[in-house]
Amino acid sequence: MFRTTRVPLVRAVLAALLALLAVACGKEGSPPVKGPAENKLPHYQVDRGFQLPESRIWTRAKKRGYLRVGVKEDQPYLGERDPATGTYSGFDIEIARMMAASLGFEPKTIRFRTIASANRETALQNGQIDFYVGTYTINDKRKRLVGFAGPYYLAGQSLLVRKDEDDIHGPEDLAGKRVCSAAGSTPYQRIKADFPKAVLVAYDTYSVCVDNLLTYQVDAVTTDDAILIGYAAKVPEELKVVGKPFSEEPYGIGVPRGDNALRLALDDALEAGEKNGDWKRAYDATLGLSGVPAPKPPAIDRYPAS
Ligand code: GLU
């Protein structure tokens, strides 16, 4: 008799303890965590009948059964990987999912792969990835090496400094200052060419630059405003974005050069997403969390094959 009543009692106590633990861990009653909420993310209609035999990349991916997409993993709101689950999230990730759906790939058949700024062209040229979505500025120099669909967003170069910094308001204040950026990026190149008195420091990723800024190893981090806003939002009591953007950084989807069929299919997919509201829904659920309302996406540039 004693034994039969005891087990349910132990269970009830355990259940109560678990419920308490859940509240203590913030599952209930705590403010929402910053970042895309899974249930707010759009679901993109997979075009199951889609065919693109004239694209070498698409045909291979279809045979293989999955897409390999290059992205970033340390850029809040844009491309971020949760180290606990391995899940990627952010605006660029949503653009990649939207593109995959248009090309006829189910969400579970996308394999994201983190590729740093300096390695994008090589990854596309070597066939390590099918396309790349990660704050990738379209420019003529890169167009000689890879193709670009888009643009799908327009960013601008800016500066991130510590909250107590009073001397840096724009790139002209960087003379003699230690400035960090990612190797192989356009912001790095621009400081080198236009503000040679700045003391440039390069790392593979911007998150390492931000660590260096927080520990007083550098005085500023420079890259696109969209990226810097995300870092500032993580530690608003320590960091701030200053000045006005001083460049135009149109984001494109990098594809292997020569696969014009794939590039133009991605242009179509972006245009369709902008028209049917997917683009705006993706933005609102990710980059929009930074507080910047959705801009009008830039016009797609379907440049001729070269
Ligand atoms: N948009 C710039 C670039 O493509 C900076 C961001 C990045 O490094 O991804 O170089």
Separation of 118 CA from ligand 1 center, angstroms? Answer: 9
* More confident call, 13 vs 92: 92
Tell me the best of 186, 210, 225 to mutate to test the pocket of ligand 1, counting ligand atoms within 8 Å of each CB and taking the most. 186
Atom in ligand 1 nearest the alpha carbon of residue 206: 8
For residue 220, give the amino acid letter.
A
Confidence of residue 36 (pLDDT cuts 50, 70, 90): low
CB 300 within 8 A of CB 271: yes
Question: Could you tell me where the beta strands, DSSP code E, fall in 186-260?
Answer: 199-203, 220-224, 239-242, 249-256
Q: What angle do CA 266, 300, 262 make, to 5 degrees?
A: 20
Give residue 39's pLDDT. 73
CB 198 within 8 A of CB 191: yes
Atom in ligand 1 nearest the alpha carbon of residue 186: 10
Tell me the best of 137, 152, 253 to mutate to test the pocket of ligand 1, counting ligand atoms within 8 Å of each CB and taking the most. 137
Give residue 96's pLDDT. 98
pLDDT of 195 higher than 50: yes
Separation of 249 CA from ligand 1 center, angstroms? Answer: 8
Give residue 16's pLDDT. 42
Separation of 54 CA from ligand 1 center, angstroms? Answer: 30
Please return the burial class of 198, using the count of CB atoms within 10 Å of its CB with bins 0-12, 13-18 and 19+: buried
Separation of 26 CA from ligand 1 center, angstroms? Answer: 35
Confidence of residue 18 (pLDDT cuts 50, 70, 90): very low
Residue 65 tokens read as 């059964």
Average pLDDT, the chain: 90
Confidence of residue 34 (pLDDT cuts 50, 70, 90): low
Strands 157-162 and 220-224: antiparallel
Please return the burial class of 279, using the count of CB atoms within 10 Å of its CB with bins 0-12, 13-18 and 19+: buried
- Ligand 1 shell residues, CB under 6 Å: 117, 134-137, 182, 185-187, 223-224, 249
Domains parsed from the chain with CATH numbers: 38-155+248-290 (3.40.190.10), 157-242 (3.40.190.10)
pTM over 0.85: yes
Separation of 186 CA from ligand 1 center, angstroms? Answer: 6
Note the pLDDT tens digit of each residue in 141-156. 999 999 999 999 999 9
Q: What is the DSSP letter of 162?
A: E
Atom in ligand 1 nearest the alpha carbon of residue 155: 1
pLDDT of 30 higher than 80: no
